Structures are given as C-alpha cells and as structure tokens.
C-alpha cells in the first residue's frame, strides 16, 4: 500500500483505539505523531537500537542510571521483535518515527527501519513517562500537552550521569506545569511507576538544574507556565539521545522524541527483563 492509499488517523481517533489497533495504525503508516494519551493502561517505551559490540556497555549504563534509562525490554542480537512486551511487537515498524545517528550526528529521520536493519543490532526499550500520565489524568490532574495535542517539552540539564564505557553526559528531563495543589498527588502517582521514570527529580526553579529558558525546550513543544503553577521535571528517556551524540558511535537508532513504542504490557509492569545479560 502506498502513502496516498493510507487514510491518516487523527489523534482523537487514535485515543479511541485498543493497544493492538493503535499499534497497527502506526505500523501501516496511518499515524506518525506523538503517542502521549494513547492506549491508556499500557506501558509505553523509548527506543535505543545499537550494534551488539556496544550493547553490554549500554546495558550497564542503563543499570547505573535507572531513573532516565529504566530498561523494560531487550531484544536478542539481530532479532527486531520485543518478545517480552507483547505479540508481534516489531521495533522496525511499530513506532511513529525514528532518529538515525551516524558518528553522533542525527543523519536521518524515518518512519520505518526495514531498509536499515542489520543482523548485529540489539534493541532496548526504556520506560516512558507517558505511561503514568494516564493515571494522573484519571486522578483529575490536567496535562496541557495532552489536552492541546502537542509533544511534552524536554530539556537538557546540568545533572551528571554515571559514565560507563563510551556513554556519559547529562540527564534530559520532561516538564509538566502543575497547580501546587496537584504536585503532591503527581509525585505520589508517578512514584508508583519506577519503570516509567518514577517521581519527579526536581520541582520548582528550572535554573537549579541548568535550564535557563523554560519557553524554549530542546525537544518537544513549549507549554505555557502561569505564575501560579510549579514546573515539575521527570527524568526522560531522551537522555540516551544526548549521550549517543556525545559518544559518536558509528550507527545508532532511537525513537523520535515523543513518538513511542506502545506495548501490550500493563502500565504497572514491574519485572526486569532477564534474557539479555550485561
């Protein structure tokens, strides 16, 4: 089927689909936008795909930095399927968009990896904060980026990561502006989801973590912050993209920020994958 034969799906239409239906729409190219607010109740995941030669170091880096890089699934070398995360979850086609890095430079953005797949590649699924957003919405905590169909803003910080092998740098965070009355509930709710970054790593003045311009995110879309709101920052799965750029590896694939893998797993997933050994 060619692109002009595919009927695009709107965000509102996607929100009404089951997890299997939503992933099928993404796989066929009918939806290529952010996944926040989709498939309520299911785990969403960031993606990092890199050659097997770097996989052990990256797994150890994730273990040393679990807040921004909580591993929820790993593929075997050359296998493009996340077999622990659902039925037929194909990392080559089941995300709305991908970034391809060569030598640490963002070289290409694509919506399918079929022509880029290599037999030595290992895929890592990292938990995503979109997972706990559904619980926050159920608790009556409004989230501006979902209500207005935009991508959550993400920022580089001055928070150092534990280095492992070629991987080092500073944490990336996502931000949600909340009423002070909602902050404690947001902390408690997100804290229930350690595989989706857990509770915020900072609440309040963004300058304290190295963010000088809250109106200009490094990734995602800006959101309005009113004087009576507090900025809340969560560790973010885009962190590896900043780290990868610094490591200058020859070839790495990631999700495009905000465009996640929707898995079949319940949002309360709490078991670490065991079939890939660091």
Q: Confidence band (pLDDT; 50, 70, 90) for 269?
A: low
Write down the pTM of the prediction: 0.89
Residue 253 pLDDT exceeds 80: yes
Q: What is the pLDDT of residue 3?
A: 58
Please tell me the predicted confidence (pLDDT) of residue 267. 78
The dihedral formed by the CA atoms of 241, 246, 247 and 252, expressed in degrees to the nearest 10: 30
Q: For residue range 6-49, what is the model confidence (pLDDT) as tens digits? A: 789 898 998 889 889 999 999 989 999 988 888 888 889 999 99
Domains and CATH numbers, the chain: 8-129+243-264 (3.40.1640.10), 142-239 (3.30.2040.10)
The pLDDT score that the predictor gives to residue 87 is 82
């Amino acid at each position: 089927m060619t692109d002009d034969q595919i009927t695009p799906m709107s965000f509102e239409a996607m929100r009404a689909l089951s997890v299997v239906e939503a992933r099928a729409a993404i796989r066929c190219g009918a939806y290529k936008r952010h996944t926040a607010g989709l498939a309520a109740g299911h785990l969403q995941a960031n993606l990092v795909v890199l050659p097997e030669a770097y996989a052990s170091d990256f797994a150890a880096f994730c273990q040393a930095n679990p807040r921004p890089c909580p591993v929820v699934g790993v593929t075997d070398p050359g296998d493009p399927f996340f077999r622990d995360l659902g039925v037929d979850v194909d990392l080559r086609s089941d995300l709305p968009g991908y970034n391809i890095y060569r030598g640490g430079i963002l070289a290409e953005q694509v919506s399918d990896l079929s022509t880029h797949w290599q037999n030595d590649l290992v895929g890592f699924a990292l938990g995503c904060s979109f997972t706990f957003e559904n619980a926050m919405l159920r608790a009556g905590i409004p989230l501006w980026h979902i209500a207005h169909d935009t991508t959550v803003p993400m920022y580089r910080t001055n928070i150092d990561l534990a280095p492992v092998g070629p991987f080092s740098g500073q944490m990336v965070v996502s931000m949600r502006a909340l009423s002070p009355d909602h902050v404690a509930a947001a902390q408690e709710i997100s804290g229930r989801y350690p595989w989706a970054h857990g509770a915020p790593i900072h609440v309040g003045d963004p300058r304290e973590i190295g963010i000088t311009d809250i109106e200009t995110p490094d990734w995602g879309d800006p959101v309005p912050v009113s004087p009576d709101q507090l900025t809340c920052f969560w560790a973010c799965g885009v962190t590896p993209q900043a780290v990868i750029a610094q490591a200058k590896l020859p070839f790495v694939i990631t999700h495009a920020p905000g465009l996640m893998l929707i898995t079949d797993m319940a949002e309360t997933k709490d078991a670490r994958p065991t079939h890939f050994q660091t």
